[in-house]
Amino acid sequence: MDLSYTITPIDGIFVLALSLLLGFEVIKNIPAVLHTPLMSGSNAISGIIIFGGITQLLNTPLDHGWTLAAASLAVLLGAINLAGGFFVTHRMLSMFVVKKKTNKPSKP
Amino acid sequence: MVFAYLIATIGLVQGLKFMGDPARAKLGNMLAAASVLVALVALVIATGWSHLANVFLLVALLAVGTFIGNIWSNRVAMTEMPQLVSIFNALGGACAVVLGLNAVYGMGTPVDTKLLGSVLILANLFGGVAFTGSMVAYLKLDGRKLPRPAPVQKVLARISLALLLIASVYYLVMPGDAGFYPTLLLAISIVALLYGVFLTLPIGGADMPVLISLLNALTGVATMMAGLLFREPVMIIGGILVGATGVLLTLQMCVAMNRSLAGVLAGKFAGSGSAKPEGEQDIRSITAVETASMLAFSKQVAVVPGYGMAVAQAQRECFALQEMLKQSDVDLHFIIHPVAGRMPGHMNVLLAEANIPYASVKEMSEVNNTMEHYDTVLVIGANDVVNPAAENDPDSIIYGMPIIRAHKAKQVIVMKRSMAKGYSGAVNTLFDRQNCKVLFGDAKESLEAIINELKRI
């Protein structure tokens, strides 16, 4: 079974256009209280650029030293961005949640 | 593989949607993280195990990166969150630049069409600007000394921007000569890195939320471009979601300051000089003891926090004050201006860290028309966002900026370190008002003094 698949850049542009519209729809009207978590969360998602590094790393023979080093660097940078972003978002959101459980909302 | 990608894509979009809902935001974050993990495993499986050593290397690198990310994200104090977000963003941008250069110089990825070539150029361009821009933003947020922006730096910014445009357009129109491409890409990357520095150097202070959102958007766009190059739909979608988030937040922040993005990037307010001569302001100061009794005799109190609160690390004292006042049946709200602090939602995070209930934190628009219900408003380390000149003085440079109408409350107490002006440099006419008093001193120490006094009452 062939597990791989590819898309053409033209397909990519279709994906791009549609997800752009989708993106604006999904995140408009976000309450201000969530602006920071949203930003750090989306920052983490942009770490998905690591996929490019993984592709390069796995396709480089071990004797191509510099290429391998560059791909490794990209993977490392991406991994820190990705993991760190999700961890810190989790940490922030945990503060919001804990507080909601322990305190009854006061009336305005 | 395809199914895994489909699941991951749906998970990402749904996760981001959940993150806009306070009750499900945590779940959304986990969902997004899980989606990325699923797609990542699928990618590794699909790319193949032919070089087993590479897979080991990959796993090791992922482990190290995750470890570093985890350590960083847990060690950093909540007040330093803008710095951390900037650093992570810089890493993403750097990753894009390394990838792009490696694709051409190392991998020899065929860049056979103008479309692919342009995509790669843009990925490195946005990634480069995001990398150095975020690094400068980090240094600024961290309070490091940076060279003062000189006029020459603005010229350099224009020159590098022009160079980038010319190079990109030149690539589009030049006849197909692939041998030239790597050099062009390298040159564009270097100029983009420089441009990031020139662009961000003059921006500071209250404009930081705009800058950080914008840099975030740039990394997203770089990721999306890389996704087109690597033909990975998950990268395209992820990148565009980030880009859309960043752009939306950027625009929201600009609207909240009534400024154009261009004005923010130019690093100055649109109106150049201050229209009002700097006359003596009639300032009534107040002591912490008097403030405490004033608070004790109020029914409804509001705190307007600003960046000064974050600097003074006074969020826990705010919580203590709220608890203290609750005992004597005084209700304390927090009113947050959209651009208070150094990144979008900065104040909310700090107040949440100090366990202040979500229900007592109000957005500006919720309460602005009923400000007269508040007996006392305590302004902690905020300035421009409560300056009534924004509403009633067409000559003021901040005229038109939405403000929290603290002056409408019965009493206003502004906690200030000194009489220094806010970021805009505008004269704050709030201090001229009869109902306004100023409590000088460090916000944290003042709050402690107030709390101690309240204990005695």
Of B66, B233, B244, Cβ closest to residue A79: B66
Smallest Cα distance from A36 to chain B, Å: 5
Q: Does A101 touch chain B (CB under 8 A)?
A: no
Of A62, A75, A87, Cβ closest to residue B69: A87
Mutation target to probe the A interface, by most A beta carbons within 10 A, among B2, B3, B24, B73 is B73
In B, residues 88-107, which contact A (CB 8 Å cutoff)? 88-89, 91-92, 94-96, 98-99, 101-103, 105-107
Residue A102 has pLDDT above 60, yes or no: no
Domain ranges of chain B: 76-266, 288-456
Q: How far apart are CA B371 and CA B109, in angstroms?
A: 61
Contact A36 B349 (CB under 8 A): yes
Residue type, B199: L
Burial call B47-60: b when 16+ CB within 10 Å, e when fewer: beeebeebbebbee
pLDDT more than 70, % of chain A: 83
Side-chain half-sphere of B398: how many Cα atoms within 13 Å?
24
Q: Does A3 touch chain B (CB under 8 A)?
A: yes
Q: How far apart are CA B363 and CA A35, in angstroms?
A: 12
Mean pLDDT value across chain B: 83
Best CATH choice for the domain B288-456 from the list 3.30.930.10, 3.50.50.60, 3.40.50.1220, 3.40.1350.10 = 3.40.50.1220
Torsion angle, CA of A55/A90/B84/B196, rounded to 10 degrees? 50
Q: Does A51 touch chain B (CB under 8 A)?
A: yes
Structure ipTM: 0.84
Q: pLDDT of A38-64, one tens digit each?
A: 888 989 999 999 999 988 888 887 777
Contacts of A83 in chain B (CB under 8 A): 65-66, 68-70
Of B26, B222, B345, Cβ closest to residue A32: B345
Q: pLDDT of B92-118, one tens digit each?
A: 999 999 998 888 887 777 777 778 888
Q: pLDDT of B161-215, one tens digit each?
A: 888 888 888 877 777 666 778 888 888 899 999 988 888 888 777 788 888 899 9
Determine phi and psi for B334, rounding to 5 degrees.
-115, 130
| β-strands B361-363, B331-336 pairing | parallel
Contacts of A101 in chain B (CB under 8 A): none
pLDDT more than 70, % of chain B: 94
Q: How far apart are CA B356 and CA B335, in angstroms?
A: 12
Helix (H, G, I), strand (E, B) or coil at B14: helix
Which helix H or strand E contains B352, and what residues bound it? helix B346-353
Q: What is the predicted pLDDT for the residue at B309?
A: 86
Residue type, A98: V
Q: pLDDT of B57-95, one tens digit each?
A: 888 999 999 999 989 888 888 778 888 999 999 999 999
B11 Cβ neighbours under 8 A, 6+ residues apart = B31, B32, B34, B35, B38
- DSSP per-residue codes, B28-51: HHHHHHHHHHHHHHHHHHHH-SSS
Tell me the angle at which helices B52-75 and A65-102 cross, rounded to the nearest 10 degrees. Answer: 40
- Which of A73-87, B75-89, B207-221, B388-402 is predicted with the least confidence, judged by mean pLDDT? B388-402
Nearest residue to B420 (alpha-carbon basis) of B262, B287, B273, B307: B307
Task: List the catalytic residues of B.
Answer: 384
Q: Judge whether A48 and B33 are in contact, CB under 8 Å.
A: no
Q: Does A14 touch chain B (CB under 8 A)?
A: no
Residue B86: how many other CB atoms lie within 10 Å: 28
Determine phi and psi for A48, rounding to 5 degrees.
-65, -10
